[in-house]
Amino acid sequence: MELDEKFAKLITNQAKYESKSLALNLLISRLQKKYMANQTPQEMNNCLQEMNAFFAKYASILGNDIEALKKI
């Protein structure tokens, strides 16, 4: 997905994003903690896969978030 770079910035806390979606905020927080505990390329890949799966599943309700994330 073209947002992988943006997702990686969120996961590594290099960028901040606050969504109106509680589920998305919780996912970001959980993935940040998961990655901070194990900062390996494999863990980043796992986090990106989970984030992509979430956005693919809920794309219809996350349109505004997708547009906002493209700008960070």
pLDDT (tens digit, 9 = 90+) per residue, 10-29? 999 999 999 999 999 999 99
Residue ranges in 12-40 assigned as alpha helix (H): 22-37
What is the C-alpha separation between 38 and 23, in angstroms, rounded?
A: 23
Answer yes or no: is pLDDT of 43 > 90.
Answer: yes
pLDDT at 67: 93
Which among 62, 63, 69 is positioned nearest to 24, based on CA atoms?
62
Using CA atoms, how far apart are residues 38 and 44, in angstroms rounded to an integer? 9
